[in-house]
Amino acid sequence: MRAATAASGHNTLVISNALGVEKAAVGGMRQGGYSALRTALRAPDRVSGPARYSIPRRARAACPN
């Protein structure tokens, strides 16, 4: 897994913290969907609902069900 992909959930939380966002619904298409899923897995208490669309096959294989 590329470092940028692995850090995507972390980066979303860093930006949310800087903006003062405590909890949010996150979502995205393709790689953005993977980032939304990683954010939800990393901090489930901060995500009210993840949405993912058209996630590439190799990213789906890297995520637990």
Q: Are 39 and 47 contacting, i.e. CB atoms less than 8 angstroms apart?
A: yes
- Portion of the chain with pLDDT greater than 70, in percent: 72
Q: Is the pLDDT of residue 63 over 90?
A: no
Q: Is the pLDDT of residue 17 over 70?
A: yes
| pLDDT (mean) for 1-15 | 76
pTM, 2 dp: 0.69
Amino acid at 8: S
Residue 45 CA to residue 10 CA, distance in Å, equals 14
| pLDDT (mean) for 35-42 | 88
Q: φ, ψ for residue 27 (rounded to 5)?
A: -165, 170
Residue 34's Cβ-count burial label (10 Å; 0-12, 13-18, 19+) is: buried
Residue 58 CA to residue 60 CA, distance in Å, equals 5
Looking at the structure of the chain, the number of domains it has is 1
Identify the domain containing residue 35 by its residue range. 3-62
